[in-house]
Structures are given as C-alpha cells and as structure tokens.
C-alpha cells in the first residue's frame, strides 16, 4: 500500500520564471515560498509525485483533445515553452499504468500519452520545486481551457481515484500530489493582467477550511466570469483536495499583475510536519 504523504497546490505561470526580477520584493517573496516548499518536499523524500496540470494546446491539438490524460512510459520531456528550460523528467511508469487501468475499471475513460511532452504547467513549478528533476512524476492533464470543459466535480472524482490507486499500490511508496494552475487570470484577452484578489482569497479560505463542497459547486462559466479564462485551472487544486479532504494551509499568496496572475502555494490537505 502506498502512502499519500502530502498534497500541494501551486500556480504555474511561466512568467514567474521568464519575468522574474530578483529586485522586486513580491517576486522575491514568491520565489522564497517556492524555495521553502522545495525544502519541505525534499524532507518528505517522496518516491514519486503525481503532478496534475492543465493543457494549453501544447501537448494536444484539436485533432484529439483529451479531457483527462495520463502520461505513461519511463520518461517525459519538457517542451521548453514560455522561457522555462526543457528537461527530461523520469516518469513513475508503474503508478501511471495502474492509474490508467484502475481508472478504466472505475469508469474513467482516461486518455493516455505514451510519449509525454509536458509544458510549463508541469515544468515551471517543477523547476522551482525540484530543479534536479530526479523524483519520478506521473503527469496528469485536465482540460481547463478548451470548451466544452468538464464540471469541477469531475476533478474531485479524479482525486478520489488517485487516492484509491495509492491505497492499492503493491509497495509502500511515498506519494506527493501536486496540483498546478490558477489562481485568477485572464489569458490573451483585454483583461489580461487583471487579478481578482477577492476570488483568490475566497478560494484560499475554502482551502483553509477544507471546504471542498463549496469549490465543487462552482460552475465553470461563473469561475470564468469572475476570475478569468485561466481560472478553471483551479480544478487541479480540487483534485488534490478531494484525495484527502480536510483543512489545508496557505503558504503564500500574492497578486502579481506583471505576471498576470494571482500566485499561491498551499498545502491542500492535513499532513504531519515533514
């Protein structure tokens, strides 16, 4: 049986790397928070990380666009998009294969990629949290941008599936979940650069309270209206929260208009101090 040792939510904009200015105190605070998270995950010594990110029409196109996709195989390759360096990242192939098979059994018609190429949704946070790229990952894509977008409860169901897979693993591997994306942001629209701090704070209040029901009840259209066409990426946080519901802990939040995003890092479920 595997062990779910921690679950986190972090923003993933490539701008926090491409447009990082060390002399800016807000930028510095965000990078400092990522540094602390890096140390925390290092102490947890996970055997693998399931990284739930969003697709930005980099890895898949309109010819076949998955709602949920699992990367399988032995390695994944960063696209090198958005100013985030490319890298080879080991893939936890045993876990990925079981997630795919158990998902089918549980009613998830999961797509899969046997040659996963991962963009900044994965590589931006990984380059800050684990630049060594030496912890095997399982990349999981959720559609948060390309209509029709699945309802948010589907992401909660995915979190339950991932938890169940951890519980059925044949060895006591230590698993960290990392949901990436959000918070409020508008992409390639006239509102780009706007941050809805009230929406972001409401989301983080729900994280602190472990109020998964409130988040799952939100409609995608309402999320887009309030917090931008990039905000449905919070579905990746919902997946992690649903894996082990309970109060979370916000590690950092900053409205960063020059990165066009509300940036946050959070523990998304209760855990022992690492």
**Looking at beta carbons only, is 48 or 183 nearer to Fe ion?**
183
| Shortest Å, Cβ 177 to Fe ion | 18
Binding interface with Fe ion (CB under 5 A) = 54
Considering the complex, what minimum distance in angstroms separates the CB of residue 138 from Fe ion? 19
* DSSP conformation class of 232: G
Nearest to 111 by CA among 87, 139, 91, 148: 139
The residue with its CB nearest to Fe ion is 54
What minimum distance in Å lies between the beta carbon of 90 and Fe ion? 23
- Which of 48, 84 has the CB closer to Fe ion? 84
Closer CB to Fe ion, residue 54 or residue 59? 54
| Secondary structure string (H, E, C) spanning 164-191 | HHHHHCCCCCEEEEEEECCCCCCCCCCC
> Smaller CB distance to Fe ion: residue 54 or 239?
54
Q: Are 176 and 46 in contact (CB under 8 A)?
A: yes
- CB-CB contact of 55 with 141 (8 Å): yes
Least spacing, CB of residue 260 vs Fe ion, in Å: 11
As a whole number of Å, the end-to-end CA separation of the chain is 20
Beta carbon of residue 246, minimum distance to Fe ion (angstroms, whole number):
26
Distance of CA 221 to the CA centre of its chain: 20
**Which of 166, 231 has the CB closer to Fe ion?**
231
């Amino acid at each position: 049986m595997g062990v779910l040792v921690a679950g986190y939510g972090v923003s993933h904009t490539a701008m926090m790397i491409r447009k990082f200015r060390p002399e800016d105190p807000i930028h510095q605070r965000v990078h400092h928070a990522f540094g602390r998270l890096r140390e925390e995950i290092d102490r947890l010594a996970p055997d693998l990380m399931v990284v739930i990110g969003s697709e930005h029409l980099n890895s898949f196109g309109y010819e076949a666009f998955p709602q949920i996709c699992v990367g399988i195989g032995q390695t994944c390759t960063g696209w090198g998009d958005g100013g985030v360096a490319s890298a080879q990242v080991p893939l936890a192939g045993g876990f990925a294969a079981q997630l795919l098979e158990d998902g089918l059994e549980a009613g998830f018609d999961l797509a899969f990629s046997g040659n996963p190429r991962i963009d900044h949704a994965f590589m931006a946070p990984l380059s800050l949290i684990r630049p060594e790229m030496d912890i095997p990952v399982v990349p999981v894509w959720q559609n948060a941008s390309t209509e029709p977008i699945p309802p948010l409860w589907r992401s909660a169901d995915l979190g339950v599936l991932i938890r169940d897979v951890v519980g059925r693993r044949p060895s006591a591997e230590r698993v960290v979940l990392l949901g990436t994306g959000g918070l409020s942001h508008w992409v390639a629209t006239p509102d780009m650069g706007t941050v809805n701090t009230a929406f972001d704070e409401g989301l983080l209040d729900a994280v602190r309270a472990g109020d998964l029901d409130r988040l799952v009840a939100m409609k995608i259209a309402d999320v887009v209206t309030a917090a931008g066409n990039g905000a449905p990426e919070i579905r990746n946080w919902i997946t992690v929260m649903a894996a082990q519901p309970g109060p979370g802990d916000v590690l950092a939040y900053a409205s960063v208009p020059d990165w066009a995003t509300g940036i946050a890092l959070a523990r998304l479920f209760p855990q022992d101090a690492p």
